[in-house]
Amino acid sequence: MNTNQNKAVEFEDLGIKEYQPAWDYQEQLMKAIIDTKIKNRDLPSEQHITTPNHLLFVEHPHVYTLGKSGHEENMLAGIDKLKEIEATYVKTNRGGDITYHGYGQIVGYPILDLENFFTDIHLYMRNLEEVIIRTIGEYGLKGERSQGETGVWLDVGKPYARKICAMGVKASRWVTLHGFALNVNTDMRYFEYIVPCGIKDKQVTSLKRELERELTSEEMEDVKAKIRKHFIDVFQAELIYK
């Protein structure tokens, strides 16, 4: 456990960014943290360098990403169809199966040194879910967890259960990568070309669909502000704006 815990999290909104450059940027931030941790191993504890934490928000152009434990058959669209719908397909190193990222979706990538918080991946995932559950609760939606299915759901246990936020992470030396994708104004037609998260019998939804109206760009920023607020509360962190 890190005796010199740093609860400050540097926040950055990357705006609209292609998936691969955003992933490369995450990897770069993760590597810097891991390099510091390796350096610290050879130093007495009082000389340990504090490791930073990051939280990135981003909106990706249409892309399907497959997790390392995912099944390619859950990608239903071939090369021609991907071209037609202007989407790309990327195999990634996070956990989980296939998911979609696109415009109108808030993607959050926390790159945290969990030794600054707690060393428990299960708790980390539950905390991420809690952030989103509290966020959508402010819009009158009752977000829930579904046993054995990561992410945030509505109407769990009912025939019309549906997922509003997908999650998939990777951790190395307790440093996290990847994160969550909350559907806000997302074009839900793009989910028709995959078996979302490899789950055949459940639907996906968005804030727009649930509230039955498109959120304005100001409201989209408000959703982001709510996510940040709940992130600070749940992780007992302090946000620093880059």
Residue by residue, pLDDT tens for the chain (242 residues) are: 445 799 999 999 999 999 999 999 999 999 999 999 999 999 998 999 999 999 999 999 999 999 888 889 989 999 999 999 999 999 999 988 889 999 999 999 999 999 999 999 999 999 999 999 999 999 999 999 999 899 999 999 999 999 999 999 999 999 999 999 999 999 999 999 988 665 666 799 999 999 999 999 999 999 999 999 999 999 999 999 98
CA distance 161 to 139: 18
**134 and 31 Cβ atoms separated by less than 8 Å:** no
- Amino acid (1-letter code) at residue 228: R
- The string of DSSP letters for the chain reads --SS---EEEEEEEEE--HHHHHHHHHHHHHHHHHHHHHHHTS-GGGPPPPP-EEEEEEPSSEEEE-TT--GGGB---HHHHHHTT-EEEE-SSSSSEEEE-TTEEEEEEE-BGGGT-S-HHHHHHHHHHHHHHHHHTTT---EEETTEEEEEESTTSTT-EEEEEEEEEEETTEEEEEEEEESS--GGGGGGB-GGG-TT-EE--HHHHHTSPPPHHHHHHHHHHHHHHHHHHHT-EEEE-
Q: How far is CA 205 from the centre of its chain?
A: 16
pLDDT at 96: 83
Options 9, 114, 197, 227, the catalytic residue: 197
**In angstroms, how far is CA 74 from the centroid of its own chain?**
20
Q: Is 165 a catalytic residue?
A: no
Tokens of 106: 């808030």
- Give pLDDT, residue 95: 84
Tokens 């498109």 sit on residue: 214
Residue 30 CA to its chain's centroid (Å): 15
Give me the pLDDT at residue 1, please: 46
